[in-house]
Amino acid sequence: MAASDIKTTNRTIPLDRVRNIGIIAHIDAGKTTTSERILFYTGKSYKIGDIDEGDTQMDWMEQEKERGITIVSAATTTFWKGVRINLIDTPGHVDFTAEVERSLRVLDGAVTILDAEETVQSQTETVWRQADKYKVPRIIFVNKVDKLGANFEGTIKAVIERLGANPAVMAYPIGAENLFKGVVLLLERKAIIWHGDETGAKFTEEEVPADMLDVVETWRTKLIEQICETDDVLLEKFLNGEEPTITELKIALRKAVIAYKLVPVYAGASLRNKGVQPLLDAIVEYLPSPVDVDHVNGVHPRSGEKVVRQTINEQPFCGLAFKIQTDPHVGRLTYVRIYSGTLKSGQPIYNATKDKEERISRMLLMHANKREEIDAAYAGEIVTLVGLRDTVTGNTLCDKDNPIVLESITFPEPVISLAIEPKTKSDQEKMGYALSKLSDEDPTFRIKSNPETGQTIIAGMGELHLEIIVDRMKREFKVEASTGAPQVAYKETVRKLAEGEGKYIKQSGGRGQYGHCFIKIEPLTRGAGYEWVNAIKGGSIPSEFITPIEKGIVEAMENGVVAGYPLVDCKITLFDGSYHDVDSSEMAFKIAGSMALQHASKNADPCLLEPIMKVEVTTPEEYMGDVIGDLSSKRAQISATETRGKLTIINAFVPLAELSGYTTKLRSITQGRANPYIEPSHYEEVPRNIAEGIIAKSGKTQT
């Protein structure tokens, strides 16, 4: 979009008339399709975007249009019945889980979309747990009710069993599969029917069909009972045989949704343009506004004391940067959720996480990849800032005189890597810039160089993730690069307690070098990371040399001792050492720390760890034996099998090293009828015979 297309607007709207929501679901549930309908019915777009046609508003990247999937979360702002809805459409593919994680961290509410035939899938459970982590109130939209094999009541049952949620059915479908034509709003006892209008913008309100009266009353009674159970006053009324009014029930339901006691459930078929308007009404009526999330907790960056900010304009400014994006026209964009206070274009702000001052040159409202310039932003809003140089995902921005650091965002570690080389000399110069920009945008994308080969190694969440990164380098940054075969991100750890000594002495005429330390290394539980303890007493090592020792140890841990992989899940204790009045230096102690780590690790029974993936295969029953046999040949642990209709679901844990090309192999043994879902689960020790092969390839010998 050219700069001349940017228009400036000033808008203030009461905070209770704002909804910050996200659309979350498993892949192919219909997130982007539903988002496109929301934009059309709210008047934000003049035509309905179609994924197959490649003309959706929210999937704007070339790769998204070509593949028909969402890769980056897209933000937009629209209005429904006088309420401003800030909407974020998130990816469903597990390789782009960071986009879901960072979106949920800053949202007040979410719409979870389920496929009425496939019900709750593994990816649904993953995004549901992410939303649980940030205590995000939700509405469920059961999509694809018109699909062959759709089972609305079966989906409700799966929500209870697999998500542990308390679903409150608000809209019951009229007809199923190809006979689906509308929904009954249970509280109002009102049928909404879509007739023939291909955009779905027009519908009629009718009486409940006679053949549905019994089922509607059954579900309605259950709904009223569920709502009353969350409110003592209404419960007393209900037990006395008196039905609360619809207004009372809606007020109580809103409180119950915000307190995460109930999850309202709606039904529809987004692709057929049915059921989206009642969902929009529900977003406005039941999901929280920033006022309902009335405060945010943080800590003072210097004192560490707890700080509380109310979500009002009159409080000092604070916000969280949750996404970085590189725009070819504007440059670096920083997406920020404002939790308190107001923000004006051009004002200086303070990055409390990094202790740096920043200045905003411009403020924008984003509509996917289109922009609208604004002068001011207020508490509860999501805006995009231009001009911030040092701010990255998870940093807190605030008023310098009233500093606060908010809880950051945690992201999973990459599980796969590959070597990447520029094709020409000019590509080499551009590649560093491109990789730096892409790692700024994506916290799960990592870059490092292999000191032995000089190669650049990129790491990410899966083969698709890295494929998209390389494709973006080519299209957006015009960098041609060659890549090696994907490599598994192994790690190393230790199995027992051991001590090690690092002594670095160098005399070369004049002032020498002297650094000497003793450390202990001991194993921690899997996934615990790294713990550092300074146990020096009596000044055997001066305090200014403690940090260099730790730096040396951390750098040495990056390259391990077994096969050159990062050393993790261990506790390092510095307990003794010595120094020289003249020759000791920070560099000498850094080298000594590195030597001590190597020595201690080799004595601590080191071993290799490999990433284990959670694999869920959905297959027709007749191929179940072949699929299980193939998984067993890949060192899989089969954890469970279950039957859903005519399909069998096989759950297993499989080492990532065994899964190269698995999707293609699975399709060939099931004639293309089985589908895998794969996500990172945990790390486990590599069996000795396989570890020996990996160590031999690395060129190291195990001590």
Contacts 24+ apart (CB under 8 A), 241-250: 246/187, 246/188, 249/187, 249/224, 250/187, 250/285, 250/286
Question: What's the longest Cα–Cα distance across the chain?
Answer: 102
Which of these ranges, 97-106, 233-242, 650-659, has the smallest mean pLDDT?
A: 97-106
Q: Which pLDDT value is given to residue 487?
A: 82
Per-residue pLDDT tens digits for 285-339: 999 998 887 788 899 988 888 999 988 888 999 999 888 887 777 778 888 889 9
Q: Pick the closest to residue 98 from 353, 335, 323, 321 (CA basis).
A: 323
Structural domain contains residue 267: yes
Please indicate, yes or no, whether residues 71 and 186 belong to a single structural domain of this protein. yes
Residue 621's Cβ-count burial label (10 Å; 0-12, 13-18, 19+) is exposed
Is the pLDDT confidence value at 6 over 80?
A: no
- Residue bearing tokens 């090696």: 484
Per-residue pLDDT tens digits for 645-703: 778 889 999 999 998 888 888 888 988 888 888 888 889 999 999 998 888 877 665 44
Burial 62-75 (b: 16+ CB within 10 A, else e): eebeebebbbbbbb
Is the pLDDT confidence value at 113 over 70?
A: yes
Is the pLDDT confidence value at 66 over 60?
A: no
Q: Which pLDDT value is given to residue 483?
A: 85
* CA–CA separation, 470 and 427 (whole Å): 13
Please indicate, yes or no, whether residues 544 and 641 belong to a single structural domain of this protein. no
Q: Which pLDDT value is given to residue 39?
A: 82
Q: Which pLDDT value is given to residue 94?
A: 57
Is the pLDDT confidence value at 81 over 70?
A: yes
Residue 421's Cβ-count burial label (10 Å; 0-12, 13-18, 19+) is middle
- Residue bearing tokens 């800053």: 106
Please indicate, yes or no, whether residues 196 and 64 belong to a single structural domain of this protein. yes
- Between 293 and 236, whose confidence is greater? 236
Burial 533-549 (b: 16+ CB within 10 A, else e): eeebeeeebeeebbebb
Q: Pick the closest to residue 270 from 154, 127, 120, 111 (CA basis).
A: 111
The SS3 assignment for 60 reads: coil
Could you give the C-alpha distances from 237 to 195, 241, 264, 407, in angstroms and in order?
A: 39, 7, 22, 42
Which H or E element spans position 602? helix 586-603
Please indicate, yes or no, whether residues 379 and 423 belong to a single structural domain of this protein. no
- 233 contacts: CB under 8 Å, gap ≥ 6: none
Please indicate, yes or no, whether residues 600 and 639 belong to a single structural domain of this protein. no
Per-residue pLDDT tens digits for 32-53: 788 888 888 887 654 454 544 4
Q: Which pLDDT value is given to residue 228?
A: 93
Q: Pick the closest to residue 494 from 339, 609, 325 (CA basis).
A: 609
Q: Which two tokens stand for residue 274?
A: 């049915």
Per-residue pLDDT tens digits for 619-648: 888 999 999 999 999 999 999 898 877 788
* CA–CA separation, 331 and 160 (whole Å): 46
* CA–CA separation, 246 and 394 (whole Å): 42
Rg of the chain taking only CA atoms, in angstroms: 28
Which of 286, 311, 332 is at the close of a domain?
286
Q: Which two tokens stand for residue 601?
A: 């690790």
CATH number of domain containing 357: 2.40.30.10
Instruction: Grade residue 510 by pLDDT with cuts at 50, 70 and 90.
Output: low
* CA–CA separation, 296 and 294 (whole Å): 7
Q: Pick the closest to residue 286 from 347, 227, 350 (CA basis).
A: 227
Q: Which pLDDT value is given to residue 569?
A: 94
For 284, other C-beta atoms within 10 Å of its C-beta total: 15
Which H or E element spans position 616? strand 606-620
- The answer to whether the Cα torsion of 151, 157, 162, 166 is positive or negative is positive
Per-residue pLDDT tens digits for 117-167: 888 887 788 888 888 888 899 999 999 999 888 899 999 999 998 888 999
Is the pLDDT confidence value at 63 over 70?
A: no
CB 372 within 8 A of CB 6: yes
Please indicate, yes or no, whether residues 469 and 539 belong to a single structural domain of this protein. no
Instruction: Grade residue 398 by pLDDT with cuts at 50, 70 and 90.
Output: very high
Q: Which pLDDT value is given to residue 655?
A: 93
Q: How many domains does the chain have?
A: 5
CB 23 within 8 A of CB 36: no
For 218, other C-beta atoms within 10 Å of its C-beta total: 12
Instruction: Grade residue 449 by pLDDT with cuts at 50, 70 and 90.
Output: confident
- Between 96 and 571, whose confidence is greater? 571
Please indicate, yes or no, whether residues 87 and 219 belong to a single structural domain of this protein. yes
The average pLDDT across 248-258 equals 94
Q: Which two tokens stand for residue 68?
A: 């028909």
The DSSP string of 274-318 is BSHHHHHHHHHHHSPPTTTS-EEEEE-TTT--EEEEESSTTSPPE
CB 599 within 8 A of CB 561: no
- 164 contacts: CB under 8 Å, gap ≥ 6: none
Q: Pick the closest to residue 495 from 568, 592, 573, 575 (CA basis).
A: 568
Structural domain contains residue 7: no
Which of 406, 436, 470 is at the close of a domain?
406
Q: Which pLDDT value is given to residue 191?
A: 92
- Residue 639 lies in domain: 609-698
Q: Which pLDDT value is given to residue 1?
A: 32
Which of 604, 634, 667 is at the close of a domain?
604
- Between 382 and 453, whose confidence is greater? 382
Q: Which pLDDT value is given to residue 93?
A: 55
For 658, other C-beta atoms within 10 Å of its C-beta total: 17
The average pLDDT across 501-526 equals 89
**Inter-helix orientation angle 246-258/276-286, to 10°:** 80
Angle at 492 between CA 440 and CA 553, to 5 degrees: 70
CB 486 within 8 A of CB 420: no
Per-residue pLDDT tens digits for 330-382: 778 888 889 999 988 878 899 999 999 998 888 887 665 567 788 888 888 88
Which of these ranges, 81-90, 532-541, 568-577, has the smallest mean pLDDT?
A: 81-90
CB 101 within 8 A of CB 91: no
Is the pLDDT confidence value at 572 over 90?
A: yes
The average pLDDT across 108-119 equals 90
Please indicate, yes or no, whether residues 266 and 343 belong to a single structural domain of this protein. no
Please indicate, yes or no, whether residues 476 and 367 belong to a single structural domain of this protein. no
The SS3 assignment for 684 reads: strand
Structural domain contains residue 2: no
**Alpha helix positions (H), 316-459:** 425-441
CATH number of domain containing 168: 3.40.50.300
Compute the mean pLDDT over every residue in the chain, rounded to the nearest whole number.
84
* CA–CA separation, 79 and 295 (whole Å): 25
* CA–CA separation, 107 and 380 (whole Å): 10
Instruction: Grade residue 597 by pLDDT with cuts at 50, 70 and 90.
Output: very high
Please indicate, yes or no, whether residues 232 and 363 belong to a single structural domain of this protein. no
* CA–CA separation, 163 and 22 (whole Å): 18
The SS3 assignment for 206 reads: strand
Q: Which pLDDT value is given to residue 285?
A: 94
Please indicate, yes or no, whether residues 44 and 157 belong to a single structural domain of this protein. yes
Structural domain contains residue 449: yes
Please indicate, yes or no, whether residues 304 and 391 belong to a single structural domain of this protein. yes
What is the DSSP secondary structure assignment for residue 403, as one 8-state letter?
A: -
Q: Pick the closest to residue 495 from 603, 414, 599 (CA basis).
A: 603
Q: Which pLDDT value is given to residue 685?
A: 94
Structural domain contains residue 4: no
Residue 275's Cβ-count burial label (10 Å; 0-12, 13-18, 19+) is buried
Structural domain contains residue 6: no
Is the pLDDT confidence value at 557 over 70?
A: yes
CATH number of domain containing 442: 3.30.70.870
CB 456 within 8 A of CB 419: yes
Structural domain contains residue 393: yes
Structural domain contains residue 615: yes
Q: Which pLDDT value is given to residue 453?
A: 63
The average pLDDT across 558-562 equals 88
CB 167 within 8 A of CB 265: yes
Q: Which pLDDT value is given to residue 187?
A: 93
Instruction: Grade residue 196 by pLDDT with cuts at 50, 70 and 90.
Output: low
* CA–CA separation, 495 and 601 (whole Å): 10
